A = this chain, B = another copy of it.
Amino acid sequence: MTPRTAEARAVERANQAFYDAVENSDLDALESVVLDGPLAESVAVVHPGWPVLRGRGEVMRSFALIMANTDYIQFFLTDVEVGVDGDAAVVTCTENILTGGPAEDDGSAGSLVGGLVVATNVFRRTADGWRLWVHHGSPVLAEDDDETAEAEHEE
């Protein structure tokens, strides 16, 4: 919405690199995105519907587990907003997620399921560039004000 500064664009690239790493099940790429060093113990991640995972080790193990149990995942990011101040930056975005089951025998993709998650990602500037400090994703449960739709179908 707002024109990006060079810094904000660098943060947005780091944000995209994070999702690319998960999408590609590339744990090495993810290792290079997630903050390390003195702040490693304060790295925190909340996967949608999960409790808080704290500490780089626990966070990386959770992603390894997710990658091992996900045959196909693709993120279409929308509403990407970046706020940078000094050495910290906050990204908010909507993850439009497409996941799929195992591929069919003929190599075609399994059936796909869509999902909607909102995320706040906090990045920290390091000598090597921006690194992910916090990722919090959560399901969007109520998109409109109409809460009665589900109650219509009683017989």
B118 near A134 with CB under 8 A, answer: no
Residues of B within 8 A of A88 (CB): 85-88, 122, 124
Q: How far is the CB of A37 from chain B (nearest CB, A)?
A: 10
> Which of A1-37 touch B at CB < 8 Å?
2
Contacts A49-B141, A90-B44: A39 and B85 contacting too (C-beta < 8 A)?
Answer: yes
A39 near B83 with CB under 8 A, answer: yes
- Interface residue total, chain A, C-beta cutoff 8 A: 39
A138 near B49 with CB under 8 A, answer: yes
Q: Chain A interface mostly helix, strand, loop or mixed?
A: strand
Residues of B within 8 A of A122 (CB): 88, 90, 120, 122, 134
Stoichiometry (number of copies): 2
Q: For the complex, what is the distance from the CA of A88 to the CA of B138, rounded to whole Å?
A: 23
With A41-B83, A48-B138 already in contact, 15 other A-B pairs whose C-beta atoms are closer than 8 Å: A2-B41, A42-B82, A44-B81, A44-B83, A44-B90, A44-B120, A46-B92, A46-B120, A46-B136, A52-B79, A52-B81, A52-B92, A52-B118, A122-B134, A136-B136
- What are 28 A-B contacts defined by CB distance under 8 Å? A39-B83, A39-B85, A42-B90, A44-B81, A44-B83, A44-B90, A44-B92, A46-B92, A46-B118, A46-B138, A48-B138, A49-B139, A50-B141, A50-B142, A51-B94, A51-B140, A52-B81, A52-B92, A52-B94, A52-B120, A83-B133, A85-B87, A85-B88, A87-B87, A92-B134, A122-B134, A137-B138, A139-B141
